[in-house]
Structure 1
């Protein structure tokens, strides 16, 4: 899987100085190196562009790598609401989004994401694209809120769903997130409101379309 991803990254995700600066800013600030892979980032850009999404919700900002990839897919009227637990992470992410030219199109809400999601739901906010890449223990809860906040036919993307392949291959040493990702994947696969598939890019991306009530 690692070699396959390296091949895809090398072939389709060419050197990107701006995103490399984001990775460097993560190292300089002693933050965890958990951004999406280059090919996963390119896929996010393509999905936003193809879907025509204009109002995005990102759960987990880190330093803004995925935020830049999402923003590259929308037009001038596109907006991102990004939920981030750590204030210092959100500050760095916003700095990097400004450098990329999207500073005025992103709004950061800091604190526990579930509380932020509850507030957004109480305000009847709606989004047409979601990206989940935060604490794995709450993925199922985040998914529930995404469905509640979704416009008809919205897309919901979740990262790290393969847990380095351990969800499917018992010979691979389980990760702390393995069982949680198995449960999440099962929920996504069987949810009556979703039409979904997993793409084995990066650490695995689940792509779900929220079905309309029609």
Structure 2
């Protein structure tokens, strides 16, 4: 990926603030942008903001009247993300909401939102719950994308005691058995190693 001042600064300020290096890799960020553009997304929900790196990629895919809501539980992360999003010139596009996602998602549903694309990249043990909310906040044709579904191959280990591995395994099983979606997982290799996205298209209403 070529150098990009806003994206580069987002990574630099996040690292300087001590945020964990859990942002998507540059090639994954570009993939998110392309998927949002292919989808023609006008409304995006991101569960897990961190420093706003993936938020910037996704928000750049939106048309001038588009809107992105991103959810972040940690006040420090949200503060860093707000600054990074502002530096990228996207403050008018992005609505960052602070609080535990499982508390914020019912509020978003009560506001009547539905989304063209939903990106799940937060605490992995909660992935099954996030998927349930993603279905409620989507429409037929919506895309649901989840990060870290390969985890260097760890997800094949059914005996793992890692809560993140178990959360992803449960999410993958739900995705495979859910009749309202058509889904696959793609493996990615890049600057952050070996991982992957799950990509699902919603085929029918609840």
Same fold flag (TM > 0.5): yes
Q: 1:95 and 1:191, CA in 2 relative to 1: closer, same or farther beyond 3 A?
A: same
Range with bigger deviation, 18-27 or 35-44: 18-27
Give the corresponding residue for 1:92.
Answer: 80
Say yes or no: does 1:77 pair with 2:69: no
Alignment of structure 1 residues 171-186 onto 2, 5 Å: 175-186=162-173
Per-residue deviation at 1:23? 1.2
Unaligned runs of 5+ residues in structure 2 are 190-194
> Quick one: distance in 2 between partners of 1:78 and 1:120?
17
Instruction: Report whether the alignment pairs 1:29 with 2:14.
Output: no
Deviations 1:51-79 (A, max 9, x none): 01011111000110000110121111111
Is residue 2:47 matched to residue 1:59? yes
Shift of residue 146 of structure 1? 0.7
Deviations 1:129-182 (A, max 9, x none): 100000111111011011001122100110011122111378xx8755222211
Consecutive aligned runs of 4 or more in structure 1 exceeding 2 Å deviation: 13-18, 173-176
Aligned positions of 1:56-205 closer than 5 A: 56-168=44-156, 175-201=162-188, 203-205=195-197
Looking at structure 1, the residues matched to 11 and 163 of structure 2 have their Cα atoms a distance apart, in angstroms, of 24
TM-score, length of structure 2 as denominator length: 0.91
Give the conservation status (yes or no) of the 8 Å contact 1:163–1:177. Answer: no
TM-score when normalising by structure 1: 0.87
RMSD over equivalenced CA pairs, Å: 1.9
